[in-house]
Amino acid sequence: MVRVRFAPSPTGFLHIGGGRTALFNWLYAQSKQGKFILRIEDTDKLRSKQEYVDEILFSLKWLGFNWDEVYYQSQRFELYREYADKLLQQGKAYIEKNPEGKEAVIFKVPQQKIKVNDLIRGSIEFDSSILKDQVLIKSDGTATYNFACVVDDATMNITHIIRGDDHISNTPKQILLYDALGFKLPEFAHLPLIMGMEGGRLSKRTGATAISDYRKMGYLAGALVNYLLLLSWSPGDNREVIDAKEAIKLFDIKNVNKTSATFDLKKLDWMNNQYLKKEDPLKLTEEIIPLLAEKKYIDKDNFDKDYLVSIVHLFQGRLTTINDFPDWADFFFLPEIKMDPLAKEKHLAKDLSKEFALFTEKLEGLEKFDLVSIEEAFRGMVKDLGIEAKVLIHPVRVALTGKTIGPGLFEVIYYLGPERVKERLGLWIKKE
């Protein structure tokens, strides 16, 4: 059975690179009906923090990468010592004391050529003569990364090690330890780095942000997973929008591109919009409610949910992130709208008292206040006035919303309701 692992270190939050590594491991396991193992590499006592562990676990769950087993290296020190002692007994390692008399266990690196058939990069060769003897157990009793990694991968029966290519330099050191301990060698696949738009490794400015921050910024998990998929892999046929369930049927680690991927935030924005368009409005509303409650736009314990779902549905095709909604739709919730000064200057500088008063009368005279009737009233009015619809559409929109863009004008009028429409248009009707 295929068994893969994702092994984050809780010395920081889970970032984009780690998220993609977790995704490709999880996908490979799913595609082969295998197991996805989570291993928290928390041997660094000084830098490992519980808040990082919590964030990593939360982010993986949010992305949908459910693991089958979980391990913590901090609970496995006795196991590492046991295997270090075996190497000492076999003469493959030796003790080295520091000035304080504390002992470290050192592995004797044998001189040999090492060849690896990387599933992504093909054949890679190493010469161990350039390596110095490797520390296995440090003088403080903790295992080093490479030693703990080998013992864990072997005892957890990991069959495929899928990780970033910044670990390629660790591969020969680990292979030597596999051989020395008599462990079966797993297959290796090293993922290319993710670069920023300007070249070079990701920085915070170019996208190296914690996965949990993307959630806070209003990105959907499905959209982020879909975008991470496209960083070094393609489903073919020039497709870009593909959910994880469908990707499982197509994914093979051997088809991952070996060249570095470029993280493009604009492309992620586009992807998020594609997912927002097709999201269930009710589910999307649940995500938006806390944002509106935080701004005091609604009382989260007392509001018309059906009405809110309708407003969300009105905007969802236009949103880049969920966080756009409160600012774009604020005029539905605020008693006094925020007026864009440029929009006011462009569309409301002219006195439109006559037109606004006439439209208000038309709306008040409607037997039924629905979309069809509202549009008919507006179209009939501009025809009677002998003007084009566009001459009044923008001024009415700005008077009602304070903005120049948004949903269709007639939808805005319908969901604002006759009383608020009359009140807001009335502000621009000069009293004789």
- Sequence-ordered list of residues with C-beta below 8 angstroms from that of 61, at least 6 positions apart, any chain: none
**Quick one: how far is CA 158 from the chain centroid?**
27
Q: In what order do the strands lie in the sheet with 3-6?
A: 69-72, 35-40, 3-6, 160-164, 187-191
DSSP 35-90: EEEEEE----TTT--HHHHHHHHHHHHHHT---SEEEEGGG-HHHHHHHHHHHHHT
> What is the average per-residue pLDDT within 394-403?
96
The pLDDT tens digits of the residues spanning 183-237 come to 999 999 999 999 888 777 776 666 668 999 999 999 999 999 999 999 999 998 8
Quote the CA–CA distance of 363 and 369 in Å, as a whole number.
Answer: 8
| Residue pair 12/31 in contact by the 8 Å Cβ criterion | no
| CATH, range 76-191 | 3.40.50.620
DSSP secondary structure letter of residue 162: E
For 339, counting Cβ atoms within 10 Å of its Cβ (0-12 exposed, 13-18 middle, 19+ buried), the class is middle
Q: Tokens in use for 83?
A: 């295997």
Residue 261 has pLDDT above 80, yes or no: yes
Task: From 338, 361, 380, select the one nearest 421 (Cα to Cα).
Answer: 361
Instruction: Please name the residue ranges forming H helices in 129-202.
Output: 145-155, 171-181
Q: What is the pLDDT of residue 306?
A: 96
Q: Summarize pLDDT for 176-187 with one digit per residue, the tens.
A: 999 999 999 999
pLDDT digits (tens, 9 = 90+) for 307-347: 999 999 999 999 999 999 999 999 999 999 999 999 999 99
Residue 83: pLDDT over 90: yes
| Predicted confidence (pLDDT) per residue in 284-307, tens digit | 999 999 999 999 999 988 999 999
Query: Where residue 372 falls among pLDDT bands split at 50, 70, 90?
Result: very high
What is the tens place of the pLDDT at every residue in 374-398?
999 999 999 988 998 888 999 999 9
- Residues near 423 by Cβ (< 8 Å), separated by ≥ 6? none
Antiparallel, parallel or unpaired: β 122-127 and 113-118: antiparallel
The contacts of residue 204 (CB under 8 Å, 6+ apart) are none
Pairing assessment for the beta strands 160-164 and 187-191 based on DSSP bridges: parallel
pLDDT score for 43: 87
Instruction: Give the pLDDT of residue 214.
Output: 95
CB atoms inside a 10 Å sphere around CB 33: 9
Structural contact between residues 296 and 229, judged by C-beta atoms closer than 8 angstroms: no
Q: How far apart are alpha carbons 92 and 39 in whole angstroms?
A: 27
pLDDT at 198: 72
Taking residues 30-59, what's their average pLDDT? Answer: 94
Task: Please tell me the predicted confidence (pLDDT) of residue 202.
Answer: 72
What pLDDT shows up at residue 46? 84
Measured distance CA(250)–CA(155) in Å, rounded: 30
Percent of the chain with pLDDT over 70: 98
Q: What share of residues in the chain are helix, strand, coil (percent, to 5)?
A: 50, 15, 35
CATH pick for 341-426 out of 1.10.10.350, 1.10.150.120, 1.10.10.1150, 1.10.3720.10: 1.10.10.350
- Across residues 119-148, what is the average pLDDT? 95
Q: What is the pLDDT of residue 432?
A: 65
Multiple choice CATH, 3-73+193-270, 3.40.50.300, 3.40.50.620, 3.40.50.970, 3.40.50.720 = 3.40.50.620
Whether the predicted pLDDT of 365 surpasses 70: yes
pLDDT tens readout for residues 4-34: 999 999 999 999 999 999 999 999 999 999 9
What's the pLDDT at 204?
A: 60
Q: Is the dihedral of CA 30, 190, 16, 74 positive or negative?
A: positive
Query: Rounded CA gap, 119 and 126, in Å?
Result: 16
Q: What is the CATH number of domain 279-332?
A: 1.10.8
Q: Return residue ranges of the chain for CATH 1.10.8.
A: 279-332
Average pLDDT over residues 46-66: 95
Q: Which helix (H) or strand (E) holds 164?
A: strand 160-164
Domain with CATH 1.10.10.350 in the chain: 341-426
Residues shown for the chain: 432
Whether the per-residue pLDDT at 99 is higher than 90: the answer is no
Distance (Å, rounded) from C-alpha 138 to C-alpha 144?
A: 7
What is the C-alpha to C-alpha distance for residues 63 and 194, in angstroms, rounded to an integer? 19
Q: Where in the chain is the domain with CATH 3.40.50.620?
A: 3-73+193-270, 76-191
